[in-house]
């Protein structure tokens, strides 16, 4: 296991990742992580991404159970797992449950749970979630058996479905690959499915208890709550690989020019103005093309915030966008006219404004009543009148999910915006990196809504900016990996730098106008807060991407996208710059598919280079023939053609 210093270099925290135990029964393989199953495979092919018993609180936070009496037995052709779980709510109510898992070489898997609550336990959801992977399943045929026994032959959604694609599910059958199929049967309650690509998860999630029912709800004291998942796999498994695929070199292949690299933006919030001004030199080093000034008059932000924004604006030559929450207490015309007057008084020179009603910051889940809200056409028309001559943006200041569910009248807008958050449903390292796989699905689905309008994403970081699904973001005082937490320690490690390279790579098909990658300071910042002037590894990636803005984007394919991703551009002289990142905790061999003898300048940012990197100096480059490198865990590499 890596030592504490290495863990901090990678993840920004010495807190270790949860332990994983491999369970094997012939061709059936699964990972046991914190009492749940992940990466369920048969003959080397992924069948299910996860089966988990999940307990959610009233803010949709996930309660971490204390696991006891864990017993694991593995015999030839079979494995069994038994344990007890115990959860305590913030009110002191308790939930205890017993779990039994059995897997067999014939492709059957059973996961049973029996829970009992005491003390008035309130929850938004308590029970099983089953994750089907999106790879090779999006848009493909599936068979749904409903609670009344009826059969529906249908397809998994291709474009991201805003509402539940399937309800009242008893069983789901899908083709895993040619000649191999699986049926997942659910027992003990009513289940339905949501398209988790909405939140950048890489799964279709089948979950217990319809969202149309009231939540939170109270579990009856002392009454057993029994649920079960039964998986049956049949067909011919593939022969085991002669060696692990992870030993193969990852090949990055340069393709044709496809559009331009996006402008890079940073968000500025009122409480970070002073810190941003103090770090003016670092802001100029990043040289973003866009500053996104976030204003929320509904919480009293006004003249002081706008004067602060004007101070920041004067520090750097960048476009200025006002992200303005419309309170909705008065007519949009009056509220936006008042804000426009304050902008003029502050001397803030804007290029664009994005507006969104305050009530739209909170989610309206399926089955819930939409809150009172000024009609979006009225809001947008009022913004046009209050800010004539500026580009007007709309959409959502929260996740793509909310934009997908409440689609704006795009004809009235110049650009559409949304953010993403990778820690809505899971916060472990693998799940966060896996969210990158969902980004092309998001941009393709968004383009189906907005057409050729300018498309802006962000601010998007690992930490959650605002929780649309509860009253707050989650606390994280121990620098852990916490769902829906504002602060995520990986922001200060190599992990965030690698994740940002992957993010820029995977949003390329969306032809973004602007990608806002976080802030200069604060929880989502590029700079450390404890030592003046020290930067985080992600600073170098943000600065590197900003330097490429407007250049021709070169398509870049990866032979193993789960391990290495990259982004490439070509300048006017034909020189190529390529950023690549190792998305894993193991060393990855990488090479660029290029003519033999191709010459590159190569610079690697890894744990060994962090002292200089935190001082603001990216590692020196060195000549490299044929574009080869061994990338340590979460390392970032920059290639420049000679």
pLDDT over 50 at 139, yes or no: yes
pLDDT over 70 at 570, yes or no: yes
Residue 612 resides in a domain: yes
Split into its structural domains, the chain has a count of 3
Give the residue-averaged pLDDT of 533-552: 98
Residue 240 resides in a domain: no
Task: State which of 499, 517, 549 marks the end of a domain.
Answer: 549
Say whether both 118 and 231 belong to one domain.
yes
63-77, 100-114, 238-252, 366-380: which range is least confident on average? Answer: 238-252
Q: How far apart are CA 413 and CA 392, in angstroms?
A: 6
Say whether both 54 and 193 belong to one domain.
yes
Say whether both 544 and 582 belong to one domain.
no
The residue segments making up the domain with residue 131 are: 4-235
pLDDT over 50 at 17, yes or no: yes
Average pLDDT, the chain: 96
Q: Which of 607, 492, 468 has the alpha carbon at shortest distance from 2? A: 607
Task: State which of 522, 549, 576 marks the end of a domain.
Answer: 549
Say whether both 526 and 493 belong to one domain.
yes
- The CA-based diameter of the chain, rounded to the nearest angstrom, is 77
Beta strands in 89-213 (DSSP E): 94-104, 108-118, 122-123, 125-133, 141-146, 151-155, 169-177, 180-187, 191-195, 203-208
Give the residue-averaged pLDDT of 637-641: 98
Residue 463 resides in a domain: yes
Looking at residue 241, what is its pLDDT? Answer: 41
Say whether both 43 and 154 belong to one domain.
yes
Helices (H), 241-353: 273-278, 280-286, 303-313, 332-346
Q: How far apart are CA 71 and CA 31, in angstroms?
A: 15
SS3 26: coil
User: The whole model's pTM is what?
Assistant: 0.96
What is the CATH classification number for the domain harbouring 627?
2.60.40.1180
Say whether both 522 and 618 belong to one domain.
no
Is the torsion defined by CA of 476, 585, 538, 252 positive or negative? negative
What is the CATH classification number for the domain harbouring 201?
2.70.98.10
Q: Give residue-wise pLDDT tens across range 182-217.
A: 999 999 999 999 999 999 999 999 999 999 999 999
Say whether both 492 and 516 belong to one domain.
yes
Give the residue-averaged pLDDT of 308-324: 99
SS3 511: coil
Residue 242 resides in a domain: no
Say whether both 85 and 228 belong to one domain.
yes
Looking at residue 239, what is its pLDDT? Answer: 55
Q: How far apart are the first and last CA of the chain?
A: 39
Give the model's confidence band at 597: pLDDT under 50 very low, under 70 low, under 90 confident, else very high: confident
Q: Give residue-wise pLDDT tens across range 220-241.
A: 999 999 999 999 999 876 654 4
Task: State which of 516, 549, 582 marks the end of a domain.
Answer: 549
pLDDT over 80 at 65, yes or no: yes
SS3 288: coil
Task: Name the residue with higher pLDDT: 208 or 366.
Answer: 208
Say whether both 579 and 524 belong to one domain.
no
pLDDT over 80 at 530, yes or no: no
32-46, 358-372, 537-551: which range is least confident on average? Answer: 358-372
Looking at residue 60, what is its pLDDT? Answer: 87
Residue 241 resides in a domain: no
Looking at residue 598, what is its pLDDT? Answer: 84
Q: How far apart are CA 157 and CA 202, in angstroms?
A: 13
Residue with tokens 């996860």: 50
pLDDT over 50 at 494, yes or no: yes
Say whether both 480 and 521 belong to one domain.
yes
Question: What percent of the chain has pLDDT above 70?
Answer: 98
pLDDT over 50 at 42, yes or no: yes
Q: Give residue-wise pLDDT tens across range 81-99.
A: 999 999 999 899 999 999 9
Contact assessment for residue 359 and residue 325, using Cβ atoms and an 8 Å cutoff: no
What is the CATH classification number for the domain harbouring 540?
3.20.20.80
Q: How far apart are CA 220 and CA 259, in angstroms?
A: 58
SS3 272: helix
Residue 175 resides in a domain: yes
Give the model's confidence band at 247: pLDDT under 50 very low, under 70 low, under 90 confident, else very high: low
pLDDT over 80 at 600, yes or no: yes
Looking at residue 246, what is its pLDDT? Answer: 57
Q: Give residue-wise pLDDT tens across range 369-400.
A: 899 999 999 999 999 999 999 999 999 999 99
Residue 521 resides in a domain: yes
Contact assessment for residue 438 and residue 421, using Cβ atoms and an 8 Å cutoff: no
Residue 187 CA, distance from chain mean position: 30
Say whether both 311 and 204 belong to one domain.
no
Residue 62 resides in a domain: yes
pLDDT over 60 at 244, yes or no: no
Say whether both 58 and 174 belong to one domain.
yes
């Amino acid at each position: 296991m890596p030592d504490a210093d290495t863990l901090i270099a990678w993840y920004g925290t010495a807190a270790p990742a949860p332990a994983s135990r491999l369970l094997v029964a012939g061709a059936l393989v699964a990972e046991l992580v914190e009492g749940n199953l992940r990466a369920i495979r048969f003959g080397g092919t992924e069948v299910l991404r996860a089966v988990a018993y999940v307990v959610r609180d009233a803010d949709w936070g996930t309660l971490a159970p204390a696991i006891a009496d864990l017993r694991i037995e593995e015999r030839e052709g079979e494995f069994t797992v038994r344990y007890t779980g115990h959860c305590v709510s913030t009110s002191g109510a308790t939930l205890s449950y017993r779990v039994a898992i059995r897997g067999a070489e014939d492709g059957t898997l059973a996961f049973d749970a029996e829970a009992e609550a005491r003390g008035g336990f309130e929850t938004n959801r308590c029970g099983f979630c089953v994750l089907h992977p999106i790879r090779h399943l999006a848009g493909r045929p599936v068979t749904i058996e409903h609670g009344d026994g009826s059969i529906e032959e249908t397809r998994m959604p291709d474009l991201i479905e805003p509402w539940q694609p399937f309800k009242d599910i008893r069983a789901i059958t899908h083709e895993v690959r040619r000649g191999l199929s699986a049926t997942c049967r659910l027992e003990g309650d009513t289940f339905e499915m949501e398209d988790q690509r909405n939140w950048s998860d890489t799964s279709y999630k089948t979950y217990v208890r319809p969202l149309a029912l009231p939540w939170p709800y109270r579990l009856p004291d002392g009454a057993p709550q029994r649920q079960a998942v039964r998986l049956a796999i049949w067909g011919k498994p593939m022969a085991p690989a002669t060696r692990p695929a992870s030993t193969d070199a990852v090949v990055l292949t340069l393709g044709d020019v496809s559009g331009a690299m996006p402008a890079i933006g940073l968000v500025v919030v009122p409480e970070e103005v002073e810190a941003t001004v103090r770090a003016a030199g670092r802001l100029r080093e990043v040289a973003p093309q866009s500053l996104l000034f976030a204003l929320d008059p509904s919480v009293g932000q006004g003249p002081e915030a706008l004067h602060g924004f004007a101070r920041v604006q004067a520090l750097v030559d960048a476009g200025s966008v006002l992200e303005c929450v419309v309170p909705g207490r008065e007519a949009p015309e009056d509220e936006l006219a008042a804000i426009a007057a304050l902008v003029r008084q502050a001397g803030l020179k804007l290029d664009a404004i994005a507006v969104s009603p305050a009530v739209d910051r909170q989610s309206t889940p399926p089955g819930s009543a939409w809150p009172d809200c000024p009609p979006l056409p009225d809001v947008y028309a009022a913004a046009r009148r209050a800010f004539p001559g500026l580009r007007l943006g709309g959409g959502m200041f929260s996740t793509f999910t909310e934009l997908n569910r409440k689609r704006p009248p795009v004809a009235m807008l110049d650009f559409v915006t949304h953010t993403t958050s990778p820690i809505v449903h899971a916060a472990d390292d693998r799940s966060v990196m896996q969210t990158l796989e969902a980004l092309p699905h998001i941009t393709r689905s968004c383009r189906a809504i907005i057409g050729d309008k300018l498309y802006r994403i962000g601010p998007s970081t690992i930490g959650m900016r605002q929780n649309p699904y509860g009253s707050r973001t989650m606390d994280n005082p121990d620098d852990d990996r916490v769902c829906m937490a504002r602060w995520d320690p990986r922001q200060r490690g190599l992990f965030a730098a690698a994740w940002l390279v992957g993010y820029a790579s995977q949003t390329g098909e969306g032809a973004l106008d602007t990608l806002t990658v976080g802030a200069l300071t604060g929880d989502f910042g590029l700079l450390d807060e404890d030592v003046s002037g020290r930067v985080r590894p992600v600073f170098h990636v943000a600065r590197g991407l900003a330097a490429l803005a407007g250049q021709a984007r070169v398509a870049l394919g990866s032979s193993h996208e789960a391990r290495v991703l990259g982004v490439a551009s070509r300048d006017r002289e034909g020189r190529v710059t390529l950023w690549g990142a190792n998305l894993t905790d193991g060393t990855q061999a990488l090479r660029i598919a290029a003519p033999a003898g191709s010459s590159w300048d190569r610079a690697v940012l890894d744990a060994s280079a962090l002292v200089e990197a935190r001082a603001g100096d990216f590692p020196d480059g060195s000549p490299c023939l044929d574009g080869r490198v061994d990338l340590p865990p979460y390392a970032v590499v920059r290639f420049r053609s000679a």
